[in-house]
Structure 1
Amino acid sequence: MKAIVKNQYFWGIIALVLLIMVDVIKDPSFIQITVSNGNLYGSLIDILRGSAPVLMIAIGMTLVIATAGIDLSVGSLMAVAGAVSMEFLASAANSGSTGAVLTALGLSLLVTVILGAINGLLVSVVGLQPFITTLIMMMTGRGIAKVITGGQNTSARSDGFAWISTGTVFGFPVAFVIAIAIVALVALVVRRSALGMTIESVGINQRASRMAGIKPLYILFSVYVISGLLAGMAGVFATANVMTVEVSKTGMDMGMDAILAVVIGGTSLAGGRFSLGGSAIGALLITTLNRTVTFLNVPSAATPAFKAVVIIIVCLLQSERVRNLFKTLKRSRRVVEAAPARVEEVKEVVAA
């Protein structure tokens, strides 16, 4: 039981279950899943569909944070990906064709990979602080999105592109299936090769890893490129869902959600060991929390405070120091409760 409690997945799963229970108490039909024309419908299915963008940026953010870095630009890169895809499809002669859809997808990912590579170069080669570098890219990316769209929200019509987010495979949302497949692929590459170990070593101590024969520059560059790629995919999911890019809103606050998902998943912001599975659970938790806020009709003004309270509770439960404090208090209470009996024993010994 102690091993289970210490597991980085445990408290995230518990919090996820509790949130769903709160929703069920308010409306028992929350967990109801219906089948129509071979597709699954329900609030839980909506959570899976909505979790796809958060999953993407959380996985990329995990790798960046594991190197003791941070990527604040993911939300802006989502807007760039949406701007590129919508502008291309809006101007395409046949936006519904497979070629147009694949070209829009490829261009979106290519642009965000380039922007991610710029982040990587500035951090690894130039030696700028990741916080400053990605903060600059956050502002620059939003500006690039506005330049691409002329500062206007852009919409397009393409059933094929919309299918990426709203379609289904075996009844499940396509976006979630694609996201899980990408997460599994990244986990396979990272954990079945030396890449994961080198990322952790760079995050713990770059100088020591360099002396061990690892090239930190390549690792740092790679994780920011991967983060840019996954942010672009998240932007495609978010944009394809409504077939509109709002350059000032698309991807807004998603960077914070990704960081929270990573922290909830048990990855240390100081770098080093990381957990892709924990980040995936954290992404599901953040998505469920956002859904719960709406479901409970929490006032918009109180929404940030509500989310903060839930996240702080989860993080405190994960803290070994907090758990040890509770254990100490429990022992102290037992000692206090046993004190009267011990006093009586001493009195009997003295009387004897």
Structure 2
Amino acid sequence: MQNLFRNLKLDQQTIVAIIFVAIFALFSIGLSGFFSVGNLLTLVRSVSVLGILSLGMAIVVIGRGIDLSMIATLAVASAVVLMLAGEGYRPELALLAGLIFAIAIGMTNGFLVAYAEIPALFTTLAVGIGVAGLGQSGLFEYEIVAWPPELNVIAWIGRGTFFGFPYSIMAFIVTCLAVHLFLRKTRLGLFVYALGDNLEAARNSGIPTRPIIILQYVLAAVIALIAGLVLSASSSSMDTRIFNLTWIYDVILVVVLGGIGLSGGRGGVMNVVVGTLLIGTIVNGMTIMNVSFEAQKLIKGLVLLAALLSDSILNPRNEETAKQGDI
């Protein structure tokens, strides 16, 4: 089957893009209201936060890691910004505090993975639970933190439009550009690919592998904070209980479905874009069809399994990648 894909010159990104176009066309024709301006604006707003989060996850996965703490970081770090601004701190100080908090989470993840050599799956799961518990055990007076008027100076990131385009999707586009430039145009970005491709070879070539691993998780945490600010600005609040939702699996689904192999060292921003568009379109269509939340989870679970299967076919582990250990 792998040879068949190669003979047809189709990679997973191209296949997913074709599927997206086909499903979008079918929904436009068959679903009443799907192709309306209002619904399309709702669609792009809903995929913007998911897309931004997936960009952070992509950096980590390309380096052959995983970050299950991103939703907790999104919720708690952005809620810290809202809380401090609401208590009278200047917006720039509140933003700086949230940024420092996010960086601390990323550095904790990176240190435990790089130096303590705890598998990323368990490290980020534990850190995510700890961060969520910190937020729910007394850091905030209420589980839902309201958007304070003092932050209205940056509220545009999640509200309003620019020549008809929601600012939230503009934030996604800007983040896409920044991540693309980092991965493709900087030495540190190329080091991330080298780590994901073969950790031992990267270490032997003189690449500072442990600091690069920490950098991956710090960038993922900062991007999660950006996604949290976009989300809280658009909804005028941050519900810290979103950690309990299955959103992190949607992020992993976007990354894997888009074609970023879990074996590391492959993929880029365009993989995230096509994966986000496909998942966002499917979820939007199911919502219009009044598919129950439970059924949606089942469908997304099946899609994720299919994506993992295709990843194992298109990006098989060889003797070299097997030496890197499990995420």
Whether these two folds match at TM > 0.5 is yes
Q: For structure 2, which runs of at least 5 residues remain unmatched after alignment?
A: 315-327
Cα separation, 1, equivalents of 2:281 and 2:239: 23
**Is 2:132 the counterpart of 1:139?**
no
Pairwise CA distance, 1:170:
2.0
Cα separation, 2, equivalents of 1:201 and 1:32: 44
Partner residue in 2 for 1:304? 297
**Is 2:286 the counterpart of 1:293?**
yes
More displaced stretch, 307-316 vs 64-73: 307-316
Question: Which amino acid is the alignment partner of residue 30 of structure 1?
Answer: F
Partner residue in 2 for 1:166? 159
Report the CA distance shift for 1:313/1:44 in structure 2 as closer, same or farther (over 3 A). Answer: farther
Equivalence map 1:114-129=2 (5 Å): 114-129=104-119
Aligned residue pair count = 307
Equivalence map 1:237-316=2 (5 Å): 237-249=230-242, 252-312=245-305
1:32 to 28, 33, 36: 36
Identity %: 28
Pairwise CA distance, 1:21:
2.7
Partner residue in 1 for 2:23? 19
Aligned partners of 1:66 and 1:273 also within 8 Å: yes
Aligned partners of 1:203 and 1:271 also within 8 Å: yes
Partner residue in 2 for 1:150? 141
Cα separation, 2, equivalents of 1:251 and 1:227: 19
2:40 to 23, 41, 44: 44
Pairwise CA distance, 1:307:
2.3
1:307-337 residue CA offsets vs partner (Å, 9 max, x unmatched): 234455566677757xxxxxxxxxxxxxxxx
Question: Which amino acid is the alignment partner of residue 69 of structure 1?
Answer: G
Pairwise CA distance, 1:226:
0.3
More displaced stretch, 303-312 vs 61-70: 303-312
Report the CA distance shift for 1:106/1:175 in structure 2 as closer, same or farther (over 3 A). Answer: farther
Partner residue in 1 for 2:323? none
Partner residue in 2 for 1:181? 174
Partner residue in 2 for 1:348? none
Pairwise CA distance, 1:219:
1.0
More displaced stretch, 55-64 vs 84-93: 84-93
TM-score by length of 1: 0.79
SS of residue paired to 2:242: coil
**Is 2:235 the counterpart of 1:235?**
no
Aligned partners of 2:144 and 2:238 also within 8 Å: yes
**Is 2:75 the counterpart of 1:84?**
no
1:155-209 residue CA offsets vs partner (Å, 9 max, x unmatched): 1343444322122222211111122112111211221233333212212322221
Partner residue in 2 for 1:331? none
Partner residue in 1 for 2:218? 225
Cα separation, 1, equivalents of 2:224 and 2:63: 18
More displaced stretch, 192-201 vs 1-10: 1-10
Q: Which protein has the larger Cα radius of gyration, Structure 1 or Structure 2?
A: 1
Pairwise CA distance, 1:104:
3.8
Equivalence map 1:55-70=2 (5 Å): 55-70=51-66
Partner residue in 2 for 1:113? 103
Question: Which amino acid is the alignment partner of residue 275 of structure 1?
Answer: G
Aligned partners of 1:68 and 1:271 also within 8 Å: yes
Pairwise CA distance, 1:154:
2.0
TM-score by length of 2: 0.85
Question: Which amino acid is the alignment partner of residue 186 of structure 1?
Answer: V
1:115-169 residue CA offsets vs partner (Å, 9 max, x unmatched): 1111111111222211111011110111122232135322134344432212222
Please, what is the CA RMSD of the aligned residues? 2.5
Q: For structure 1, which runs of at least 5 residues remain unmatched after alignment?
A: 34-41, 94-98, 322-352
Cα separation, 2, equivalents of 1:258 and 1:190: 19
Cα separation, 2, equivalents of 1:48 and 1:115: 29
Cα separation, 2, equivalents of 1:177 and 1:153: 26
Report the CA distance shift for 1:315/1:32 in structure 2 as closer, same or farther (over 3 A). Answer: farther
